[in-house]
Amino acid sequence: MTVLFLSQNRLSYLAPVFDPWFSANGTHSHDVGLAENVSTADQWVTVMGCAERYRMCNPTTSSCTPWAGQEGLRDSVMHENIPGYGQAQLATASRLILAVTTCRTNTIVTSLGAGSLWANNLAFGNIAPGLPDNQWQTEVLGWFQTILSKLQADVLDFTSNPREKLGPLGNVTSPYDAKFSRGDPISLALQHQCENQLVQTQGEVQNFNFVGVLVLVCCSVALIVIDLALERLISLAYRCWGWWPTAKHARQADDKLHLLCMALGPREGHSWRLGHLEVPVIDGNVLFDMHNISEELGSYSSKTRSI
């Protein structure tokens, strides 16, 4: 039950108001310098009481809880389970019941203050035009619509996951962690919903599968190792079998290092051989030096390096 008080001791209306909550039927009026006298409120303070009732239904069984307040709704759903919900449905219902506790008429009116009355939008200073006879219904409808919007926002807040509600490892925390034991089925269902919830953030936290990342890294490393070792392993196998393919000879002969080796030729009895990474090297200590240039053509000569 919500009781709302309306104080109108300073407000005047240009026309009589017969709305029961904003009543100013012309019994009290005064002159403010206009063509006609303005009407003032019949009572300085008027009172309106709003009874809020809730119910939840199960679309599968078409069974619903009786109309009741917040505590009655909580008992009907969480303790008696009149709709016959499963554990996942009970977990979802508990989130809705938790949101209902912050979506009440008095909460909305208190948080909005004077802006909670649509009639204030028509007032200019202390003077307002006449109001329709059902103005109180318009006000209550506005509060109800605001309550529904707030309820939807609270439910959406569970999926938007503000950063302050994330756990230390970036996981979504259950709003009922402190109210249920760890082994309680509802708590387990809530935790399961939280574990399956994606986190919307600005990049500080990212969801990923550690096993999948580990498999991807291991496969990438294996492919890199195979790529680096494959040619050496094939060359080793060729040498062990004593077979060297013609294509290998042709590719080797076209290589720049092998072309350079053939251009230099053997020096002073030293012969070329295939070294590490199939780079041609020459036995002994032979130094090649380009020092002879004839008609813009450089030529190589060799000399033995003394040790």
pLDDT in tens, 230-273: 877 877 787 787 776 666 667 777 777 777 777 776 666 667 77
Q: Is 97 exposed, middle or buried (0-12, 13-18, 19+ CB in 10 A)?
A: middle
pLDDT band at 6 (very low <50, low <70, confident <90, very high): confident
Which positions ≥6 away from 168 have C-beta within 8 Å? Answer: none
Look at residue 87 and tell me whether its pLDDT is greater than 80: yes
Mode of pairing for the β-strands spanning 127-128 and 12-13: parallel
7-44 pLDDT, tens per residue?
A: 666 677 888 888 888 888 877 776 665 556 788 888 88
| Calpha distance 186→193 (Å, rounded) | 11
| Calpha distance 195→94 (Å, rounded) | 17
| Calpha distance 28→38 (Å, rounded) | 9
| Calpha distance 91→192 (Å, rounded) | 10
Q: Do 130 and 29 meet the contact criterion of CB atoms below 8 Å apart? A: no
Helix axes 105-112, 135-160, angle to 10 degrees: 90
Task: Return the percentage of the chain with pLDDT > 90, whole number.
Answer: 5
Q: Do 102 and 154 meet the contact criterion of CB atoms below 8 Å apart? A: yes
Q: Tell me the CA distances in angstroms from 280 to 197, 234, 253, 301, one per residue in order.
A: 61, 18, 11, 18
Q: Do 25 and 42 meet the contact criterion of CB atoms below 8 Å apart? A: yes
pLDDT band at 71 (very low <50, low <70, confident <90, very high): confident
Q: Is 13 exposed, middle or buried (0-12, 13-18, 19+ CB in 10 A)?
A: buried
Among 230, 222, 166, smallest CA distance to 198 is for: 166
Look at residue 211 and tell me whether its pLDDT is greater than 80: yes
| Calpha distance 160→224 (Å, rounded) | 41
102-138 pLDDT, tens per residue?
A: 788 888 888 887 778 888 877 777 777 888 888 888 8
Q: Do 179 and 120 meet the contact criterion of CB atoms below 8 Å apart? A: no
